[in-house]
Amino acid sequence: MANPYFQFKSFTVWHDKCAMKVGTDGVLLGAWAKTESCQRILDVGTGTGLIALMLAQRGTAILDAIDIDSDACSQARENIAKSPFANRIQVYRTPLSEYTPDEGINYDLIVSNPPYFIDSLKCPDTKRSLARHTDTLPLPDLLRDSRKLLAPEGNIALILPFEQRESLIDLAREESLFPSRETHVSPVPDASPKRLLIELSAKPVAEPELSYLTLEIERHRYTDEFTALAKDFYLKM
């Protein structure tokens, strides 16, 4: 039986009630997204609450976290309540399209590890299928609805399969969102990028910041770059 929780340095994430378990994608985004000067952050599709907890650890911002799944919201609330950051994170069960924060609130940062399986066969587990497939949060909807909630100087940070990069940039442009920072993530040396970490801004950037990240030198041997990114969170780094 898989471990029902994942222990980080400053908090524990239980994931036995959630369709999507703690994984590298969430850790990457939570460690990579820029939190400097952020006062309000929105985590879209929070699941276990992992990314919200990581961002809370990295700054002093107030965070709102939303999800459409009742079990995920319940588990996220439990994880957050047991963490040192319980007074700065609120969880709401709502789709992004219907989410209405208090009047006057715009977000300095909006993060999402969104569903990304577009054409693949759906799995028989309904909750896992909802969490994995874009039916529940298509990228055009995510970008459009996030844009409405973004502060003028704010950013949207996402992690996606690398092959979706060009379509994402095209869709973002339609919402007047532009890449300001990208990291192309490869699992091992000399492998093609498998994940895209991307930051979108409302202001065009002449030369977006571009970097490359390799996760492992070999099985269970992390690179120095990934260790530097995740060392404040993983116990054995």
Question: Would you list the domain boundaries of the chain?
Answer: 24-227
Residue 116 — pLDDT band, cuts 50, 70, 90?
confident
What one-letter code names the amino acid at 33?
Answer: A
CA atoms within a 13 Å half-sphere pointing along the CA-CB vector of 69:
23
DSSP letter at 202?
S
Q: What's the mean pLDDT when you consider all of the chain?
A: 91
Least confident of 18-22, 46-50, 104-108, 206-210: 18-22
In sequence order, what E strands does 26-106 have? 40-44, 62-67, 89-93
Name the CATH topology of 24-227: Rossmann fold (3.40.50)
pLDDT, one tens digit per residue, over 33-81 is: 999 999 999 999 999 999 999 999 999 999 999 999 999 999 999 999 9
- Please state, in angstroms and as integers, the Cα–Cα distance from residue 175 to each residue in 122, 126, 129, 140, following that order: 29, 31, 28, 9
Supply the pTM of this predicted model: 0.91
Average pLDDT over residues 152-164: 97
Q: 195, 112, 192: which is closest to 155 by C-alpha?
A: 112
Task: Please write down the HEC assignment for all residues of 158-186.
Answer: EEEEHHHHHHHHHHHHHCCCEEEEEEEEE
